[in-house]
Structure 1
Amino acid sequence: MRAVAYIRVSTDDQVDGYSLEKQEEECLRYIKQNGYQYIETFMDDGYSAKDMKRPALQRMLSEIPNRSFDMIVVWHTDRLTRDIIDGLTMVKTLFNKYGIKFASVTEDIDTSSYDGMMMFTMRLMMAQRERERIGERVSMALTRKASTGKRVNLGAIYGYDVTGGRLVVNPQEADVVRDIYQHYVYKGWGYGKIAAHLNESGVPAKKTQWNASTIKGILKNITYTGMNEWTPKNGTPIVTQGDHEAIIDAELFTLAQTQLKRRGSLEMSRSSYHYPFSSIIKCGACGASYTASYTRKPVDKYGYCNYRCSNKKAGLCHEPDIAEIKFAKLFFEFFSRVTIEPEPYTPAISEDVVKQAEKERKRIEREIVKLDNRKSNLLDMLGDKIITREDYKKKVEEINQSLTKLQNDLNVLQPKEVAVTRSPDEVVDMIRKLEDNWMAMPNEDRKFIIQMLFKRIVIQKTENEWVIKEVEPA
């Protein structure tokens, strides 16, 4: 009988006594002792058995229809697979079909008999459960690591170099990151425009060229504020203070996230920054947004710009256009006479409050680590049959409920800067004083202020007179 050996290790297996050399030695001894003819060894070095995407395994399986061997010998069943479905599929659709025998050096398995097939299935179930236990332990270890403020993913991040497992600011790249945030937040540029600008300027990207998705990823990455974030599988994101230097401040990052959300829901204009009120003005007749257009004359600071209902072109609305100079006058007159009821003023957060919150955050993180350790211990107790599966399930459910509550409390208690909060009177005064500086302000500053302050301003022309019907702040 012609026999081949299949051997496999993943990274973890190599340090646990299952080396490739040891497996091959045991398989060859088994083949020789049973008087079989050795043909070849198929070796997968550094591949997990969670699936069948392994080059040597696929090459061996492809040889089966050619009948170039009669038996497959492995050191242990889990070398072939740790998935019960994959294992049964190989045996029933290939091994049995072509009369290929399967043998395990360390287990008494003969898949040609009913008892042997039952034993093979049980071994596969055990191997799959062991793989799942390893995955659970790895996940818990990563969660503990993330909860203590350490980085879980040590991959390269634009703006930083990785030195000794820590992020160190790359000065040249950090300047580019700051420019990306500045252009997006204060100039209103979109992802594509920023990417095109960087490519045209010859700024080297991390890999190939800059593209819109790369810019979006940078704008959403909280790492640039000095924080770490990691999301466990099907879990809640864990955000902690990192040990690396921030490239941008938390306030700028928050502004970027606000704009990302509002642009995604079309609350803010994506058009050129020459038009401060684009998409903010809403039609009182049909509810659509007013977008900017202009005459053949060059656009100055605002004199020649018009706003038009977006439903007008399709004939769905007949409201007239309004010049920006006329709307600006209407806008400032509205705020000069409107009465705004001030809400209760919330003073700035004191340093004592922040320190107390940080103390509570550390306490919660310690509790999370303790509960994760308890889950790991319970898993070991289940494996050693110290507790029943029912007790294990009940206790883990209780721990998971506690972990969920602690994680929710932790999300609320993330470190906050000591904020200087403006009172409602100050906000109203700022809007009313905006008119004094309006003509001297660059277009990008106008748009930034207007679109950060307002979600919508509803207008309608009644009896040949424009009126502002509703104002909704951002």
Structure 2
Amino acid sequence: MRAAVYIRVSTNEQVQEGYSIKAQKMKLEAYAVSQGWDIVQYYVDEGLSAKDMERAELKRMLGSLDKDVFDCVLVYRLDRLTRSVLDLYEMIKLFEKHAIKFKSATEVYDTTTATGRLFVTLIASLAQWERENTGERISFGMEQKAREGKWVNNRPPYGYDIAGDYLEVNQREAKMIRELFDLYLEGKSMHKIAIELNERNIASKRKALWQQGTVGYILKNPLYKGTMRYNYRKNKENYFEVEDAVPPIIDKDKFDTVQNLMQKRKTFPAKSATSTYMFSQIGKCARCGGGLVGKSSTVIRGEKEYYSQSYRCTKRTFGGCDLPSIASNYLESQFHKYLTSWDLSSFDDQTGDGQSSNTLLIEEYEKELAGIEKRRAKWQYAWANENISDEDFQKRSKEELDRESQIRLELNEIRGAEQKEPTISAEYLKSITSAWSKLSSVEKKQFMQLSVKEIKVDKITKERNPESVVIKSITFY
């Protein structure tokens, strides 16, 4: 009999009940010897509950059922495998489908008989009942507190302190939250904001270094406009929000503006999203359809230094287009003139599908997942033959599991994301047109990112004036 050993341990069980990985491994190996079985594979989940099947090693084991790797799944106790009767029922069906037996080393179960399956189901039902009964009481209480606007977590988010059952603003941290939102609106990326905060020795709530993800989490969290969310990460089917549950730090208009800006920046490279070239990525050559890229130049005449910006077609470099360079100030002038002269009363809102191809990125992630699988198999073989210690094995497994979880999360976001683009109204365009001369370069850049999907440009004469530039068409979101 070729046996696959499944081991699971949570932190509390390891400390309090003696179910350590090493202890289970020794007892299961002894049991296999007593039965004359050969252990051909180990699957080890560390620090994970058995309440569901979201366990990396369990999934890997189930994925191997049709590969003829083993004949039997061996566990120390039934609750090592699962505490859910529904999950157990599904796994038993899978085992039977692939002619795989299931054995517990400390309990008398034999899934090849109806009586054995009944015992397994009864024990799992009792375990699930106990867990769910306790979990329902706790969950119901916490959910009700959240609906009342009470804070149910042990740690307050950055910008707040816990005052009894509620959150109150931490004025020192709230000042940094407001500055963080302003820095993003000024054109700085999340990565640059994190670097700046670290350079200024501004501590996070957990006294850790600021990272891009930390900044992004704050920018996306509606808590800062006063809306508390519950079941955001887990039990998403029961997700809900409670408006005006906490004192806001950021006003709603600014928060919504940041959300729209983040959606738009997803379609731009990081450098382009924060550059001073307001027409980069959206500017297109009317002659060949190529993209326009910005360039700068400095000319010294006498004691004065003159700085200028311009755009050129990307295909011109390789001789694929003859569009001359277009001065940035001429293009901006014609853009403003275009909006001013346009009959906005007939303006129709447009929306973009916002979808981009991520095929290459998905392929790279899938290759990395395959590499993780190969390395995991090698380490398990080395651990089973005692070539590496339990501590080294656990460390490597955790590192790979963390990386695998991160990759799968990003893959799910890429595959399932449907980017929703903001729509632009005629009234909004009218207000921007009238205030154009008063806007800063950063504000103009933001307007372009949020509003314009594409602008086709041509240069009709060699004259050095705005009239030499013609805007053929503009497509708005």
Give the TM-score of the pair, scaled to structure 1. 0.57
In the TM superposition, residue 466 of structure 1 has moved relative to its aligned partner by: 2.6
Q: CA 1:124–1:263 in structure 2 vs 1: closer, same or farther (change >3 Å)?
A: same
In the TM superposition, residue 261 of structure 1 has moved relative to its aligned partner by: 0.5
Name the counterpart of 1:324.
328
Name the counterpart of 1:82.
83
Retained in 2: the 8 A contact 1:161–1:167? yes
Q: In 2, distance between residues paired with 1:163 and 1:147?
A: 17
In the TM superposition, residue 219 of structure 1 has moved relative to its aligned partner by: 1.0
Name the counterpart of 1:469.
472
Retained in 1: the 8 A contact 2:194–2:215? yes
Q: In 1, distance between residues paired with 2:316 and 2:248?
A: 47
Q: In 1, distance between residues paired with 2:249 and 2:162?
A: 15
Could you tell which deviates more after superposition, 462-471 or 194-203? 462-471
Which whole-Å deviations, capped at 9, do the CAs of 1:206-225 have from their partners, x for residues lacking one? 34211211111111111111
Counterpart secondary structure, 2:176: helix
In the TM superposition, residue 313 of structure 1 has moved relative to its aligned partner by: 4.4
Equivalences for residues 401-412 of structure 1 within 5 A: none
In the TM superposition, residue 151 of structure 1 has moved relative to its aligned partner by: 4.2
Retained in 1: the 8 A contact 2:225–2:250? yes
The residue identity in structure 2 corresponding to 1:283 is C
Name the counterpart of 1:373.
none
Equivalences for residues 253-402 of structure 1 within 5 A: 253-266=255-268, 270-297=272-299, 304-313=308-317, 317-341=321-345
Q: CA 1:301–1:233 in structure 2 vs 1: closer, same or farther (change >3 Å)?
A: farther
Retained in 1: the 8 A contact 2:189–2:274? no
The residue identity in structure 1 corresponding to 2:26 is S
Name the counterpart of 1:160.
160
Give the TM-score of the pair, scaled to structure 2. 0.56
Q: In 2, distance between residues paired with 1:113 and 1:332?
A: 78
Which whole-Å deviations, capped at 9, do the CAs of 1:9-64 have from their partners, x for residues lacking one? 999xxxxxxxxxxxxxxxxxxxxxxxxxxxxxxx65689xxxxxx84476245334
Retained in 1: the 8 A contact 2:298–2:305? no
In the TM superposition, residue 190 of structure 1 has moved relative to its aligned partner by: 0.8
The residue identity in structure 1 corresponding to 2:286 is G
Q: CA 1:329–1:190 in structure 2 vs 1: closer, same or farther (change >3 Å)?
A: same
In the TM superposition, residue 238 of structure 1 has moved relative to its aligned partner by: 1.6
Matched, 1:130 2:129: yes
Counterpart secondary structure, 2:259: helix
Q: CA 1:111–1:198 in structure 2 vs 1: closer, same or farther (change >3 Å)?
A: same
Retained in 1: the 8 A contact 2:84–2:125? no
Retained in 1: the 8 A contact 2:297–2:307? no
In the TM superposition, residue 183 of structure 1 has moved relative to its aligned partner by: 1.1
Which whole-Å deviations, capped at 9, do the CAs of 1:223-244 have from their partners, x for residues lacking one? 1111111235352742222432
In the TM superposition, residue 193 of structure 1 has moved relative to its aligned partner by: 1.2
Q: 1:446 aligns with which of 426, 430, 444?
A: 444
Stretches of structure 2 that go unaligned for 5 or more consecutive residues are: 1-8, 35-76, 349-423, 463-467
The residue identity in structure 1 corresponding to 2:474 is V
The residue identity in structure 2 corresponding to 1:293 is K
Counterpart secondary structure, 2:168: strand
Which whole-Å deviations, capped at 9, do the CAs of 1:339-392 have from their partners, x for residues lacking one? 222569xxxxxxxxxxxxxxxxxxxxxxxxxxxxxxxxxxxxxxxxxxxxxxxx
The residue identity in structure 1 corresponding to 2:325 is D
Larger radius of gyration: 1
Q: In 2, distance between residues paired with 1:177 and 1:283?
A: 41
In the TM superposition, residue 253 of structure 1 has moved relative to its aligned partner by: 0.7
Which whole-Å deviations, capped at 9, do the CAs of 1:163-206 have from their partners, x for residues lacking one? 33422222222111111110111x11111111111122222233
Stretches of structure 1 that go unaligned for 5 or more consecutive residues are: 1-7, 12-42, 48-53, 71-75, 96-100, 103-108, 345-421
Matched, 1:219 2:183: no
Name the counterpart of 2:180.
180
Q: In 1, distance between residues paired with 2:346 and 2:221?
A: 35
In the TM superposition, residue 257 of structure 1 has moved relative to its aligned partner by: 0.5
In the TM superposition, residue 294 of structure 1 has moved relative to its aligned partner by: 0.4
The residue identity in structure 2 corresponding to 1:173 is E
Retained in 2: the 8 A contact 1:160–1:174? yes
The residue identity in structure 2 corresponding to 1:121 is V
Q: In 2, distance between residues paired with 1:445 and 1:246?
A: 24
Q: In 2, distance between residues paired with 1:210 and 1:157?
A: 14
Counterpart secondary structure, 2:237: coil
Retained in 2: the 8 A contact 1:457–1:472? yes
Retained in 2: the 8 A contact 1:268–1:280? no
Matched, 1:59 2:19: no
Q: In 1, distance between residues paired with 2:288 and 2:238?
A: 41
Equivalences for residues 179-258 of structure 1 within 5 A: 179-185=179-185, 187-206=186-205, 207-230=207-230, 231=232, 233-235=235-237, 237-258=239-260
Q: CA 1:192–1:138 in structure 2 vs 1: closer, same or farther (change >3 Å)?
A: same
Count how many residue pairs are aligned between Structure 1 and Structure 2: 331
Counterpart secondary structure, 2:345: coil
Name the counterpart of 1:455.
453
Q: CA 1:237–1:469 in structure 2 vs 1: closer, same or farther (change >3 Å)?
A: farther
Counterpart secondary structure, 1:256: helix
Retained in 2: the 8 A contact 1:77–1:123? no
Aligned alpha-carbon RMSD (Å): 4.5
